[in-house]
Amino acid sequence: MSTALYTHADCHAHDMGHGHPECPQRLDAIHDHLIACGLDVALEHRDAPLVDLRDVELAHSAHYVSELKDRLEQLALTGESRAFDPDTAANAGTWAATQRAAGAAVAATDAVIDGEIDNAFCAVRPPGHHATRDETMGFCFFNNVAIAARHALDVRGLKRVAIVDFDVHHGNGTEDIVAGDDRILMVSFFQHPLYPYSGGVPKGENMINLPIPPYTRGMEIRDMIEAMWMPRLEAFQPQMVFISAGFDAHREDDLGQLGLVEADYEWITRRVKDVADRHAQGRIVSCLEGGYALSALSRSVATHLRVLADL
């Protein structure tokens, strides 16, 4: 058994323009660092397939999926770029990348449930946790983790799954999709106030939101996780755990003002893995969200993967 790394060259082709923090170089930095630190050889490498749009419609409305498909396929044909909002743009490669990112999450879910691998990390882009049921935003088009979680429940027949979202920004899109679904427990922390300026009041009783003031350091966040996340996760006893893994709460990342370091991501991953080992047969699928300081991102991903792979 093993830890799988899902990615695809198509995820590099999505480009929102010069100077945009959510850039193809993020995946290059992760790839290069995993080779440099020797972790690359310990992982099972798998290509991300294209997602089945029926799976996407488990989390997004059919109208949204159809309209986004039409708009992105048109860009793929013309080679043009288009801004969807002040933060989010698409180019000719976005449609393929979006399908691969969601496809990685679903394929990893199937592989973990089928016992082919112990757990998986999806090094994909675009990220997903700001994409709501009906709207692109915050660099996101399809909500990869929400799609995978609903696939585990609605297609694979699990009864309870948890979503753990650690990112400097609130996963408002995931909350929009899963709030009120008692089969899903979502726990998250995020800097507040900060884009998208939400999350202070959870939308459902299945949400544990931890709004964190700017300049909070890792030990304080660990204490809040221990007090607020862990009792609910233990009581919920998820059959599978999904992670929206954002590394932009790192103290070197300029998109936020939180103070985490690699040791904090190691601790968080270990606590989540403890829950999965006790209640979910170790089943975890983690998907890359934020993280824009390339060195800090690559080091943090490697730390996250070492815990998942028991190295």
CA 17/CA 216 separation, integer angstroms:
32
Asked about 304 being catalytic, the answer comes back as no
- Residues ≥6 apart with Cβ < 8 Å to 231: none
**CA dist., res. 145 & res. 127, Å (int):** 9
Cα 128 to Cα 80: distance, rounded to the nearest angstrom: 22
- Cα dihedral 198, 202, 206, 212 in deg (nearest 10): 70
How does 8-25 read in b/e, with b if 16+ C-beta sit within 10 Å?
bebbbbbbbeeeebbbbe
Asked whether 309 and 274 are in contact (CB, 8 A), the reply is: no
Rounded to 5 degrees, what are φ and ψ at 100?
-70, -40
Among 130, 151, 169, 304, the one annotated catalytic = 130
Q: Give CA 164 to chain center in angstroms.
A: 9
Q: CA 19 → CA 4, 15, 252, 292, distances in Å?
A: 31, 10, 18, 11
Query: Do residues 250 and 291 touch, judged by C-beta distance below 8 A?
Result: yes
Q: What is the distance, to the nearest Å, from the Cα of residue 101 to the centroid of all Cα atoms in its chain?
A: 10
CB atoms inside a 10 Å sphere around CB 178: 28
CA distances to 60, 75, 154 from 96, rounded to whole Å, are: 18, 11, 25
Cα separation, 108 vs 55, whole angstroms? 13
Which residues are annotated as catalytic? 130
